[in-house]
Amino acid sequence: MSLLTLPTEIVYRILDHLNIYSTLISLRRVCKRLHTITDTYDRYELDLSSIPESKIKLIASIIRPENIISLILTQNTSRKTIFDLFFLHFKIHEFPQLRSLTLSGITANDFNRILQALATCRLSSLSIHICEKWNHEIGSFAKSLVTRFDLRKLILKYSEDLIGNISWPYNCNLNYLSLEKCTYSQYQLILGNLPYLKTLIIRDCIIRDHNEMIVTFYSHLSSLTINDCHLSINDIEFLLAQTPSLVYLKLGSRREVFDSIFDGSSWEKFIIANISSLKKFEFLFSYTLKNNNAMPNINSHIDSFRTPFWLNEKRWFVICDYNMQQKIINLYTTPICITKTDYLSQSLVYSFSHFVTIRWAVLPMNTSHLPILSWTDGLFDINDIEIITQLDLRHNHVGVLGAEYLAVGLRYNKTLQQLNLALNQLGDEGAQQIANLLQNSTTLTHLYLQRNTIKEIGAQQIAVALKTNTTLIELNIGGNPIGYKGAEYIADALKTNKSLIEMSMSGNHIGDLGVEWITNALQVNTTLTTLHLQLNDIGDTGAKYLSHLLTNNKTLGCLSLAQNLIGNNGAELLAAALETNKTLAKRDLQQNQTSDQDAKSLLDTLQNNQTLKTLSLRSNQIGNQGAQSIANALAQNRIYRQTLKIVELKNNQLGDDGVRCIIQALANSQMLTVLNLQTNLITSAGILDLVAMLHTLPKISKLDLSCNKIGDEGAKHIANLLETNTTLNVINLHRNEIGSDGAQYLSDVLIHNQTLKKLGMSFNKSNDCCILEFLVAIRSNSAIVVTLDNKQIEEKFTQQLANALKNNTSVRTLNLNSNKMNDQCLGYLVDTLKNHKGITSLNLDNNQITDEGAQYLCEIMKNNSKLKILSFRSNKIGNEGSRMIVNALINNTTLEKLYPTQHQYGVAETICAIRNGDVPNRIHLECKRIEDIDLQYLCHSLRYNMRITTINLNNNKIGDIGAQHITDILRNNTNITELLLHSNSISDEGAKYLASALKDNKTLMKLNLYRNKIGINGAKSFAEALSKNTTILEIDLRRNESGYAAIVGAIIELRNNKV
């Protein structure tokens, strides 16, 4: 059996599940039979938001109004007013079978229009989502709606928290009611006045005065939903006890305290005693732990839902999730009772985030009480296997219980490789749980436990796990006070562990004694290659133990001893050991108590070292003498030129002489890529020598000279280097006293140098430096938002900015506010901006753009289809320039927001506000020198705008041609009720145009033409038109050229009792 041979009633059932667009545009055209069936089908739901705007007129011509039983009008900002489109193509009074009406995003004015057209309809269901703050009117019309249409179902959604009291008609037939928040007195009024009400849905109930709480029973209500309840558990029980006949109950609640609402036993007792007929109970209770809150014992609470009442009698099954990153506990019935569009879920769901969740389930077949690990977006499951390889829970106050839950949840996990639990107050008990995890895990390779107040007992537990673990390759326990005793336990584990490659014990307070234990273990260990021992109070004795290790160890490649207490003797011992060590490629002795002489002793070891790749001596107060020692050591060992890649000498006192020594030794280094000389008292003289050496480095890619004093002359030397260098892609020159001349040197050379990708120039003397930094970022496609506010951009830099943007695809926002940019500056940019494929927002506020520059803006608006936001407020654009911009705007269909210069000519500003959707229902353009040509643009914007009801054009220069344009508004716009044209220059010809529009206009109620130039012929035109128009109530024609005009106006007002 095919679709073509199915019985008609079955095809009707299929159509019940198709949208109207698919039915009438696609299915209807398949064959003659389906054409006939779709024409006779009489259960259509007309939802305009599901129909492309270009097809609405076609749908209106096809569908039979009598076949429509449901109408949905949903306004959104991405298309024209949906209500205007509906009234343009449909006549709601021709829908005789309409039973259900849904209005979303509706204004008071839109609703009144629809209400007038619904006079003959017999609605049984009405849903209204109000977008404006006219909720105070809800109380007045809700009663009339229920009685007028004899509604069975009413849904009211509104933006305000509470509505006023609604006088519900007694004994009406309403059986389904959905509201937002209501007070307890309103709740009682609803249940008391609506005896047939079976289903009540509210977002919350507010109890302001407990004295008003009177026990009353409402036995007719069978279904109650409170979606976001903030009542105390006592108030919830009081409320529910008044509806003993409930069959269905749904509760959603975000709790401030972890109270008995999470306790299954309490609920069991209450339900048995008060609402025993309850068949279905759905809930979602959420609690967010604050930083100082103790972690509740979830195990005991979840056990309270494992009783025969829950599992056998009611068969209500629950799940408890603990979101570890957000520290949120969610307890809910399964299947979960809310969707992602519900109000409550919006505060719990993070659409673009993934969170590790520990889950306890109480299900009929669940025999295990142990939690499992899940991934959620905060509430709903995410099925993404890839994200489970890394878990970052830094600074989440996991605590002991959280560590226990995590360890149990991960017990059977086979994918997690990296776990970061830094800063979580685990303590020794939490460390025990993580040790349990380590003993069971077969995939974990990286574990970070720094700063968790773990002491020697916790270190002992971790050490026990390390003895049997075979997968962990990196462990960080830094910042924990394990002391020398804890170091002893760890050292004992290192003797047998064969997987650890990198270990950080920085800040463990292990001292010299702890170092002794570690070095003894590493005499045996053959796998550890990286060891961090910073901040451990290690002195010369500890250095002695380390020197013995370095003499014999053949695997350790990186050792960090920064910020310890190693002095001259210790440095000498380490230096002696390094003379024979051939494997240590990176050593870090930053911020120890080493002087120039100490540095000399240590660096003498470089003479025979053949593996050095990184030399880091940051923050060691090394001056000229220490620099000479470094240079001598490097000069005597030629092998380093084939191995050394990174030299870090930041924050010392080298000066120009010290730098000269260093660079002479580094000359011709074949592998050097990074040189950091930040904060070293270097001037332009030192830069001159440095540049000469940099020419000899074939792979140098990053140079950091920040926080020195190179000035403009030093910048000139850097520019000379960049003329021929083809390897440097990062140079940092922050805080170097560089002025505009220095910026110019660099700017000139960068026209030809295309290698440099990043130039740091902030905090120098000239704004040109910041501009240059952004130019390089733009050219390199590394900037998304470019902000050059208040930088006094000159024409030369504007030209360079335009060139940088030509090949750029990354910039999305360009801010050039407050730069005194003139028309010529904008002229340089126009060719680039009108064709740029990435920029969506351009801000040119507070510059010096005139009418000539406005022409450039028009070119951008006409050609750039990507630009969404354009702002040029506070410039010098006059009437002519504004008219050009408005004209360009008429043909632009992509610009969403336009913010023009504010001045006496207000049409452009108003048109842009209309385009932006920022205009309320009134337009005020009084005394703006508006001429006829301006109204042409204004009328184009207002033709189909159905929001504006009042237009004030008093005291302008509007003549007969302008009146003709206004006529166009009155013919097409059916929403304007008040038009003010006081003190203009409209004569008989203009009056004739206006009068012709009034013959058919049914909405204009007030027209003011006081003090114009209307004579007797114009007055006759109005008299004829108004004899047929009964809508207009007030027309002011006084002080015109003919007294007859004033008489005509007076007659109309007398007719309507307005005099």
Residues above pLDDT 70, as percent of the chain:
90
**Element (DSSP H or E) covering residue 532:** strand 530-532
**318 or 973: which carries more pLDDT confidence?**
318
Ranking 119-128, 275-284, 983-992 by mean pLDDT, the lowest is 119-128
CATH topology for the 783-905 domain: 3.80.10
Whether 788 shows a pLDDT value over 90: the answer reads: no
Mean pLDDT of 250-277: 94
Question: Highest-confidence range of 155-159, 617-621, 751-755, by mean pLDDT?
Answer: 751-755
Q: Is 93 exposed, middle or buried (0-12, 13-18, 19+ CB in 10 A)?
A: middle
Domain layout of the chain by residue ranges: 783-905, 922-1055
Has this prediction a pTM greater than 0.75?
A: no
Q: Please indicate whether the domains covering 783-905 and 922-1055 agree at the CATH topology level.
A: yes
Considering only residues 848 and 897, tell me which one the structure prediction assigns the higher pLDDT. Answer: 848
Confidence of residue 117 (pLDDT cuts 50, 70, 90): confident
pLDDT on residue 951: 92
Query: How far is it, in rounded angstroms, from Cα 56 to Cα 51?
Result: 6
Between vectors from CA 964 to CA 963 and to CA 967, what angle results, nearest 5°? 90
**DSSP reduced 3-state for 481:** coil
Query: Measured between alpha carbons, how far is residue 693 from residues 642, 659, 669, 688 in Å?
Result: 17, 11, 10, 9
Residues 981, 994: Cα–Cα separation, whole Å: 11
Q: What is the pLDDT of residue 284?
A: 95
Would you place residue 508 in the very low, low, confident or very high pLDDT band (cuts 50, 70, 90)?
very high
- Tell me the pLDDT band of 358, cut-offs 50, 70 and 90: confident
Most confident segment among 208-212, 616-620, 680-684, 1003-1007: 680-684
Is the domain covering 922-1055 a CATH 3.80.10.10 domain? yes
Name residue 102's amino acid: T
What is the band of 865 on the pLDDT scale with cuts at 50, 70, 90? confident
* 622 band by pLDDT with thresholds 50, 70 and 90: confident
Which pLDDT score, from 0 to 100, does residue 507 have? 95
> Any long-range contacts for 783-786 (C-beta under 8 Å, 24+ apart)?
783/810, 783/811, 784/810, 784/811, 784/812, 784/813, 785/811, 785/812, 785/813, 785/815, 786/811, 786/813, 786/814, 786/815
Round the average pLDDT of the chain to a whole number and report it.
Answer: 85
Q: What is the pLDDT of residues 624-652, one digit of tens each?
A: 888 887 777 777 666 666 788 899 888 88
Can you give the pLDDT at residue 873?
87
C-beta of residue 31 within 8 angstroms of C-beta of residue 22: no
Instruction: Choose the most confident range, by mean pLDDT, from 756-760, 767-771, 940-944, 973-977.
Output: 756-760
pLDDT for position 842: 92
Residue 161 — pLDDT band, cuts 50, 70, 90? low
- The span from the first CA to the last CA of the chain, in angstroms, equals 76
The pLDDT score that the predictor gives to residue 703 is 95
On whether the CB atoms of residues 390 and 396 are closer than 8 A, the answer is: no
Q: pLDDT-derived band of residue 408, with 50, 70 and 90 as boundaries? A: confident
Residue 918: its pLDDT value, please? 66
Which residue in 833, 753, 744 sits closest to 796, CA to CA?
744
Provide the pLDDT for residue 386.
46
SS3 assignment for 409-441: HCCCCCCCCEEECCCCCCHHHHHHHHHHHHHHC
User: How far apart, in whole angstroms, are the C-alpha atoms of residue 427 and residue 404?
Assistant: 12
Compute and round to an integer the Cα radius of gyration of the chain. 40
| Per-residue pLDDT tens digits for 23-51 | 998 888 888 898 999 999 999 999 988 88
Of 410-419, 442-451, 564-573, 632-641, the one with minimum mean pLDDT is 632-641
pLDDT score for 141:
66
Residue 679 has pLDDT above 90, yes or no: yes
Helix (H) or strand (E) holding 104: strand 100-106
State the pLDDT confidence band at 150, using cuts at 50, 70 and 90.
confident
The most confident of the ranges 127-131, 186-190, 375-379, 986-990 is 986-990
Secondary structure of residue 454 in the 3-state scheme: coil
pLDDT value at residue 1058 = 45
Q: What are phi and psi of 229, to 5 degrees?
A: -80, 130
**pLDDT at residue 406 tops 60:** yes
